[in-house]
Amino acid sequence: MSAPAPTPQLSEPAPASLPLPQQTSERIPAPLFTVTGDSLVATDFHPRRQPPRRRRTPPSPYHRSPYHRLFATPGARAFTLGNLIARLPMGMFSVSAVIMIAGSRGSYALAGAVTATGLAATAVVGPLTARLVDRHGQARVAVPATAFALLGGLALVLCVHYGAPDWSLFVAYAATATTPNTGGMSRARWAHLFKGDPAALHTANSFEQAADELCFMLGPVFAAFLCGAFFPEAGTLVGGALMMTGVLVFAAQRSTEPPPRRRTQATKSPVRAAGMPALLLAFLATGAVFGSMEVVTIAFADAQGHKSAAGVVLALQAAGSCGAGLLYGALKPAGPVERRYPLCVAAMTALMTVPFLAASLSGSLLVLAGALLVAGTATAPTMVTGMTLVQRRTPDGRLNEGMTLAVTGLLGGIACGSAAGGWVVQHVSATAGYGVPVAAASLALVIATGGAVRDAVRHPARR
C-alpha cells in the first residue's frame, strides 16, 4: 500500500487575506488570492481609484472686502460704534448754540462770537488734552475730559435760559474745549492694530474720513430738528448726552486701546517732526476750503430765495466726499503716500473750480448742488492721504497729539475761510465768493508740492 501523495507546501503560509494597507484617500483594492481548502484561488482584481475629496472651506472674510477685514478684528466693531455715537454731536454743538443764543438774545453776532470763542479755545486746549491721552491712556483722560465739557454745555444752557450776562456765555462755551478728539483717538487705535500693514491702515483711514463726513452731514440737520421741534436747548442737551454715552462705550473697549507712552527727552514734539510744519499748513489751507464753501453756499442760496435749501446742498457735498472716501478705501493706490498727497490736493483744486463755474455760468441752485456733489469727491482722498502722512511723521508715543494738531489746523482754516468767504460775499457777490475755495485749495497745492519736493530731496530712495 503506497503512501499518500504529500501535500504541496508553500514557502510561507498564505494568510487568509492580505494585510490592510495604510489609510489613504484611495479605495482599498480586492485581494489577489484567497485560500480555499489546500489550494490558492486567484480572484479578479479591478483596481478603482477614487479621486481625493476636496474640502470646502468657507471663504475667509479677508478675501471679501477690505472693510470685512477691518471689522473682523476683535473689538473693532464695539469701539467704532461708541466712537460714532460720540462723534455725531461734533456737528451738532455749533448749530445748536447759534440757534439757542440767537433765539434767546436776538443777536446772531453774539451767537457767532460765542461759537468762535469756543473754536479758539478748542484750538489751544485740544492738543494739550491729546498729549495727556498719549501719556496716560485714552480711557483715563477721555472720560473726565468729556465730563468736564458736558458741564460746560450744561452751564451754557442754564446761562441762556435764565438770562445770565453775556460774558458768562463765553466762559461756559469755552469750557467745552476739553472735549477729546474722538476721531483722532479712533485713528490711533487703527494705527495700533494695523501697525506695519499699510493696506489695512489705508482702509481704516478712509472709513474714518467717511464717518467724519457722515457725522458732519447729519449732525447739523439733527440739531436743527431738535431745536425746532422741541425747544431751543434740546440740541445742546441731546448732543451732550450722546457724547458722554459714546465716550463711555468707546473707553470701555480696553483690548484695542493703544498703550500709554511716557514722554522722554528724546521724543520730539509733533510740530518739530520732519515734514510736519508744511503738512499742518496744508491742513490749515484745506480747512479754509471747507469754511469758505459753507458760508458762500448759504449766501448763494439766500440770494436765490432758497436759504432753507442750503443745508441740503451742503449735504450733497458731504455725501460726495463720504462715497469717495469709502471707494478710495476699497482700492489699493499705487506709489508712496508722499507722492500721492500732492496729486490728491491737485485734484481737489481742479474740482473746486466746478462750483465756481456752475454759479457763474448758470446761477441755478440745482446746478450748483450737482457741482458740489462732484467737488466733494476729491475731499476725502485728500484728507485720507494727509492723515496717513500725519501718522507716519508723528513721533512714537504722541500720535493722538499729532492728529489733534492736524484737526486744529483744519478748525483754524475753517475759521479763516469763513471770515474770508463772508467778506467777499459782503463786498463783492455770492458768486464771486466761490473763488475763495479755489484760492485756498491752490495755496494748499503750493504747500503740498513744496513739501513733496523737499521730501524727495531729503529722501531720494522714495522716488
pLDDT of residue 35: 54
For residue 53, the model assigns a pLDDT of 56
Rounded to 5 degrees, what are φ and ψ at 40? -95, 135
Contact 79, 342 (CB under 8 A): no
Alpha carbon dihedral 148, 151, 156, 159, in 10-degree steps, equals: -130
Enter the CATH code of domain 272-463.
1.20.1250.20
d(CA 287, CA 278) in angstroms, rounded, equals 14
Crossing angle of the two packed helices 353-361 and 435-458, in degrees rounded to 10:
160
Residues with Cβ within 8 Å of 263's Cβ and at least 6 positions away in sequence, in order, are 134, 135, 397, 398
Q: In tens digits, what is the pLDDT along the chain, a chain of 463 residues?
A: 445 555 555 444 545 444 555 555 455 555 555 555 555 555 554 555 555 555 554 444 445 677 787 788 888 888 889 888 988 888 788 778 877 887 887 776 777 778 778 878 888 888 888 888 888 888 888 899 999 999 999 999 999 888 888 888 899 988 888 888 888 888 888 888 888 788 888 888 888 888 887 887 778 778 878 887 888 888 889 999 999 999 999 988 888 888 887 665 546 677 777 778 888 899 999 988 988 888 888 788 878 877 667 777 878 888 888 888 888 887 777 777 788 889 999 999 999 999 999 988 888 888 998 999 999 888 888 888 888 888 888 877 777 788 888 888 888 888 788 778 888 888 888 888 899 999 999 999 999 888 666 665 555 544 4
Pick among 1.20.1250.20, 3.40.50.300, 1.10.287.3510, 1.10.40.60: CATH of 64-262: 1.20.1250.20
> Cα separation of 150 and 78, whole Å?
23
Determine the Cα–Cα distance for residues 403 and 386; give it in Å rounded to an integer. Answer: 10
Q: What is the pLDDT of residue 398?
A: 77
- Contact present, 206 and 328 (Cβ < 8 Å): yes
Write the burial class of residue 5 (CB in 10 Å: 0-12 exposed, 13-18 middle, 19+ buried): exposed
Phi, psi of 376 (to 5 degrees): -70, -20
pLDDT at 418: 78
Residue 445 near residue 345, CB atoms below 8 Å: yes
Q: What is the pTM assigned to this prediction?
A: 0.70
Residue 336, class by beta-carbon neighbours within 10 Å (0-12 exposed, 13-18 middle, 19+ buried)? Answer: middle
d(CA 3, CA 1): 7
- Residues 217, 92, 158, CA angle at the centre, nearest 5°? 170
Cell, residue 259: 498703550
Report pLDDT for 356. 92
Q: Write out the chain in H/E/C secondary structure.
A: CCCCCCCCCCCCCCCCCCCCCCCCCCCCCCCCEEEECCEEEECCCCCCCCCCCCCCCCCCHHHCCHHHHHHCCCCHHHHHHHHHHHHHHHHCHHHHHHHHHHHHHCCHHHHHHHHHHHHHHHHHHHHHHHHHHHHHCHHHHHHHHHHHHHHHHHHHHHHHHCCCCHHHHHHHHHHHHHCCCHHHHHHHHHHHHCCCCHHHHHHHHHHHHHHHHHHHHHHHHHHHHHHHHCCCCHHHHHHHHHHHHHHHHHHHCHHHCCCCCCCCCCCCCHHHCCCHHHHHHHHHHHHHHHHHHHHHHHHHHHHCCCHHHHHHHHHHHHHHHHHHHHHHHHCCCCCCHHHHHHHHHHHHHHHCHHHHHHHHHCCCHHHHHHHHHHHHHHHHHHHHHHHHHHHHHCCCCCHHHHHHHHHHHHHHHHHHHHHHHHHHHHHCCHHHHCHHHHHHHHHHHHHHHHHHHHHHHHCHHHC
Residues carrying CATH 1.20.1250.20, the chain: 64-262, 272-463
Q: How far apart are CA 281 and CA 408, in angstroms?
A: 11
Q: Are 263 and 397 within 8 A, CB to CB?
A: yes
- pLDDT, tens only, 248-288: 999 888 888 888 876 655 466 777 777 788 888 999 999 88
What is residue 10's predicted lDDT score, i.e. its pLDDT? 47
Task: Quote the pLDDT of residue 327.
Answer: 84
